[in-house]
A and B are shown apart, each in its own frame.
Chain A
């Protein structure tokens, strides 16, 4: 069992209450930061820690903080991105539900570092039950003098509010989130200006993922250098992975970055192997938007080295033979899963969730869904495969926000690694219309 930074006390009965949370060392970082450190010192510790954004992009958190503009007389904001909507990702929901004070503590410490006096947690609207848990915990924190005016007598003021979304994956993109928080449609903004200069209400704003913010208290309490000792290379610290699909033990796991992928999939400590004793076929290691990898490339790199659960190792080989760590949503496919059907499912998701602002994304996601639908339902043509590759290429990199890339990568990677399965579907239209068509890599095989 490795070190647990975020989940050490997550299963303690009553940890969602202030009393129990404080009994287990909760809010020590607020006391330490507000009374013994300057905001810049907190920022420096986060920089030293090497903490990288846990929402998917992996950008260094401390560096992001240091970009925040500080014009005189203009408020600054910290906004927590709790709009967890990437298929396969459910770590933040679980974390907030079980230990809401961990996030609130992180919000206070981080807001202090950034000089924000009002901060928001933007949570996806479907998680209204989690919003109520957070609001209850926030009320406890206010009553204890941990929020509001003159926190713990330090002279620092902070108001913290939770804001629900309305059901839109795109609002996980930081500028779309800010538009939504301002009461508008969640259309991403052009960048620059970046939120650090002109964000919420046209003021300097930092948007961070739940897990990123919740990691800050440990860094303040123990020092950035201690955090940097955990993990491997530039993948420092621990990470929450949401594991789903055809595994024996789906759930959320906190691991020290650097665990071998093979161990993560098969060890009883983590995913517990493939369910029903079946063979591993493929894995999407970082949420629906990252490239899918076949079994032979998920446990080993193309060079034959063990693949590790790190930002660098999971992306080793680029998009030719690698993928991305992304949000840490680890989706596992057994030998009987149909890649075409799964790719169509994700294409439908991205078409549904495109905000419609950019033509390549609005039209392209629709075309990809239609073409994949016809292949899956027995009406495909061989040239459809290259058509899909072409459409994906024309979407990628040609949109205001990364949703276009997110829509293109699953399609392009599925064809790259499982092209023969697409061909098989087109050649066997009758079998192909059956849900979960069986394919084990031999074109001659038909459904038993």
Chain B
């Protein structure tokens, strides 16, 4: 069992994943594993990185907390505020817009009654428009955690997607791999 710091505790599977990533780098270069560890932390702790979670990462890597904060604030995948159960990361970049991404974002705002960056009152969805996700040939599209949902080119498909998500539990892939 991992030790706790301010009530932050990784699961055994999460710690195993962290140690595996650290082992990929030469002795003394363990900081290289910071990004994959942050992904593990975000998956384990409700989809965002709290200051306590970042402090825990610093402790594991034997680096200063500021070194974790400065990395976390640079990369867009890390949420630094609490988010909903499902973060809808909708591609808003050129090629997807040529196929209707703006309309998808507008429909989501209307259907969920939230603005960009906000979370629904029931805590189910956060709307987070993002830049190109390398799915330009299958746009409009969005990502939820590790899955791509592509060709969302009609309101019917969007409704179907939202209904599916309402009945979808959060999965952590490396837990299944254990």
Contacts and interface: CB of A to CB of B under 8 A. Distances in A.
A250 B143 CA distance: 19
Interface string A280-299: 00001000100000000000
Contact of A337 (B98, B131, B133): B98
Contacts of A186: 74-75
Interface in B103-146: 103, 130-139, 143, 146
Interface stretch (A57-65, A142-150, A238-246, A391-399): A238-246
B157 interface: no
A85 B137 CA distance: 14
A293 B34 CA distance: 42
Interface string B25-67: 0100101111110110000000000000000000001000001
A185 B29 contact: no
A183 B94 CA distance: 30
Nearest to B147: A129
A353 B35 contact: no
B77 A90 contact: no
In the complex, which range does the number of interface residues on chain A fall in?
A: 35 or more
Contacts, number: 150
A125 B75 contact: yes
Given A88-B94, A246-B98, A345-B94, A331 B77 contact: no
B173 A132 contact: yes
B45 to A, nearest CB: 16
A118 B25 CA distance: 9
Nearest to A352: B131
Contact of B134 (A127, A180, A185): A127
B74 A168 contact: yes
A28 B167 CA distance: 47
**Main DSSP-derived SS at the A contact region:** mixed
Contacts of A244: 95, 98-99, 136-137, 139
Contact of B132 (A75, A180, A342, A349): A349
B166 interface: no
Nearest to A353: B131
A165 B135 contact: no
Contacts of A250: 136-138
A125 B75 CA distance: 10
B133 A126 contact: yes
Contacts of B78: 166-167
B153 to A, nearest CB: 11
Contacts of B75: 125, 165-168, 186
A165 B38 CA distance: 10
Contacts of A169: 131-132
A331 B137 contact: no
Contact of B35 (A86, A164, A201, A345): A164
A165 B35 contact: yes
B165 interface: no
A370 B111 CA distance: 29
B97 interface: yes
A331 B35 contact: no
A435 B136 contact: no
B39 A346 contact: no
A164 B36 contact: yes
A370 B172 CA distance: 40
Nearest to A246: B98
B70 interface: yes
20 contacts: A85-B134, A87-B93, A87-B94, A124-B134, A126-B133, A129-B146, A166-B39, A166-B71, A167-B130, A168-B74, A185-B70, A186-B75, A244-B137, A245-B136, A250-B137, A251-B137, A329-B136, A342-B97, A345-B97, A353-B131
Interface of B: 24, 26, 29, 31-36, 38-39, 61, 67, 70-71, 74-78, 89, 92-95, 97-99, 102-103, 130-139, 143, 146-148, 173
Given A168-B75, A337-B98, 5 more contacts: A85-B134, A120-B24, A127-B134, A244-B98, A435-B103
